[in-house]
Amino acid sequence: MEYPQFFNHLGEEEMDIPLDAVNNSTVIAATPRNPHAPLTYFTTAVREISSEQCLVVAPIISPEFIEASQPLLEAGTTLELIYDKAVFEMVRTKYEDELMSAFDMKKIALYIYPEELSFGLVIFDEQVFVHAYETSGQFSACLKSTDPMLYEWAKDKYAEYRDSARQIKDPSELP
C-alpha cells in the first residue's frame, strides 16, 4: 500500500484531506528501485489530459513538469501557478525563455506565496493530483483522483494559498 508514504511526506496538509476521498484515489510512490515513479506517472498523465484550466501549487520546479505542460499551453489551457519566492527565482533564472513564452501567450497567471511550500497540488477540470515531497525536495508520492470530495478540498486549498499569494504581472518582478 502506497498511502503511508504519501501521508508521511504530505506535511501539514494531511490534517484536513478528506480520507474517504483518498480511498477512491490512485497513489503512486517512489521506491528504492523506482525513485521516479511518481514523476513518470504524473508527467505521463498530464500529457494525456485535455483541460480548460490547470491550477498549480508547486514547491519545486522540474524540467519534466515544464515539458509535460507545454502541450497544455499550446492547446490553450489557462495555467495558474503558485510558487514560493525561491522556486520563482529559479524559474526566472533557469527557465526564462519558457516563462516569457507562457506570459506572451497570455495564458498564465503567476503567484508568489510568502512562505516555503511543502506539498504540490495540480487541479484540472475533472481531476486533481496531490504531490508529497521529502524534505530534500524529492517527489515521493503522487495521488490522482476524480472524487468530488477531494476535488472540492483541492479547490478550497488552492484558493486559500492563492488568497495569501501575490500575483506577478511581469516576470521581471520579484517580491
Q: What is the CATH number of the domain that holds 136?
A: 3.30.870.10
Structural domain that includes position 45: 3-168
Q: How far is 110 from 147, CA to CA, in rounded Å? A: 27
Least confident window among 51-65, 71-85, 90-104: 90-104
Q: What is the mean pLDDT of the chain?
A: 87
List, for residues 108-167, the tens digit of each pLDDT value.
899 999 999 989 999 999 999 999 988 888 899 999 999 999 999 999 999 999 999 999
SS3 label, residue 121? strand
pLDDT at 100 over 90: no
Q: Between residues 4 and 64, which one has the greater pLDDT?
A: 64
Question: Is-contact 61 94, C-beta < 8 A?
Answer: yes
Least confident window among 17-31, 32-46, 156-170: 17-31
pLDDT at 53 over 50: yes
* 174 falls within a domain: no
Categorize the per-residue pLDDT at 172 as very low, low, confident or very high, splitting at 50, 70 and 90.
low
Question: Is-contact 80 168, C-beta < 8 A?
Answer: no
The residues, any chain, with a CB within 8 Å of residue 120's CB and separated by 6 or more, are: 56, 57, 58, 59, 60, 129, 130, 131, 132, 133, 139
Q: What's the pLDDT at 46? A: 94
Instruction: For the chain, give the percent of residues with pLDDT over 70.
Output: 89
* 118 falls within a domain: yes
Q: What's the pLDDT at 77? A: 92
* 162 falls within a domain: yes
C-alpha cell of residue 18 = 478528506
* 93 falls within a domain: yes
Q: Between residues 139 and 2, which one has the greater pLDDT?
A: 139
* 173 falls within a domain: no
Specify whether the backbone of 33 is left (phi greater than 0), alpha (psi in -120 to 50) or beta: alpha
* 175 falls within a domain: no
What is the tally of structural domains in the chain? 1
* 70 falls within a domain: yes
The residues, any chain, with a CB within 8 Å of residue 133's CB and separated by 6 or more, are: 9, 59, 60, 118, 119, 120, 139, 140
Q: What's the pLDDT at 91? A: 83
Categorize the per-residue pLDDT at 40 as very low, low, confident or very high, splitting at 50, 70 and 90.
very high
* 51 falls within a domain: yes
Supply the pTM of this predicted model. Answer: 0.90
Categorize the per-residue pLDDT at 1 as very low, low, confident or very high, splitting at 50, 70 and 90.
very low
